[in-house]
Amino acid sequence: MKLAFSTLGVPGMPVPDVVELAVSAGYRGVELRGHPEEPVHPGLGAAERAAVVKEFARAGVEILAVAGYARAADLTVQDSAFHQEVDGLLRLAHDLGARYVRVFPGAGGTPGPEADAAAARRLGLAAETAGDLGVRILLETHDSHRTGRDAERVVAAVGHPRVGVLWDVMHTWLGGETPAATRAALGPYLGYVQVKDIASKDDTTPLALGAGVLPLAGCLGGLSPATLPDGTPAEDFWVCWEYEKRWYEDAPPLPPLLAAGREHLEALRTA
């Protein structure tokens, strides 16, 4: 199992500091939040992108993904706007050497067949660009499509190897889905797992891993070559800690928690 953390937990932190944090806490990768308020985003020029790549390569830390905010199932967004946004994210990921681009469903409170169809159509078109650039688009289990079954419904309709699912364990749990059910639904579509911990369904303030109620052991303990995409060896599969400090300013800072979080995840995986 390869471990990464998201820069959502260290909002605005300069790239050299992010890299140093990964090295000091023992993480092999970083998920970059690709938003204009962050140091790395689609508006960066070629020289700036090259500098980011050099900084990560110097330390031997991988850029796992660019986490974007494009909403595939949002019927209030024009297809052209979605594709422009995703195209920028894909090209950024390609230039950084990242494997994945994260997108959201974003269909609102009552998604239906029309939203599913829009998401599948948009992702299918974007998959062609993703294939040309060597990047995979992952639809996160989130908001309107928070369970594995919800996300699988969309990506199965796309039917393209460059479109998969990012499993956010909090949202599948909030959606009432067990880890085993999520694994069964996602099957070959699974890209990587995003872990976190919270106090309860009513209080999603981020906590240190293992200090809350999310079934992290059930999520990670069941991962094996038989349940990973294409028989991926478990040691090559990525798990990313998304600590949502950006949205919860009063939450404890992430850096002091990272090393213990890594140890907790490693213990779960080998238990």
State the DSSP code for 236: G
- Residue span of the structural domain in which 48 resides: 2-270
Tell me the CATH number at 35: 3.20.20.150
Contact 130, 101 (CB under 8 A): yes
% of the chain residues with pLDDT over 90: 90
Of 148, 161, 137, residue with least CA distance to 219:
148
Number of structural domains found in the chain: 1
- Cα dihedral sign for 110, 114, 116, 120? negative
pLDDT value of residue 232: 76
Query: pLDDT for 90-143, tens place per residue?
Result: 999 999 999 999 999 999 876 799 999 999 999 999 999 999 999 999 999 999
- What are the pLDDT digits (tens) for 28-48? 999 999 999 999 999 999 999
| Whether the predicted model's global pTM rises above the 0.75 cut | yes
Could you give the CA distance from residue 145 to residue 113 in angstroms, rounded to a whole number? 12
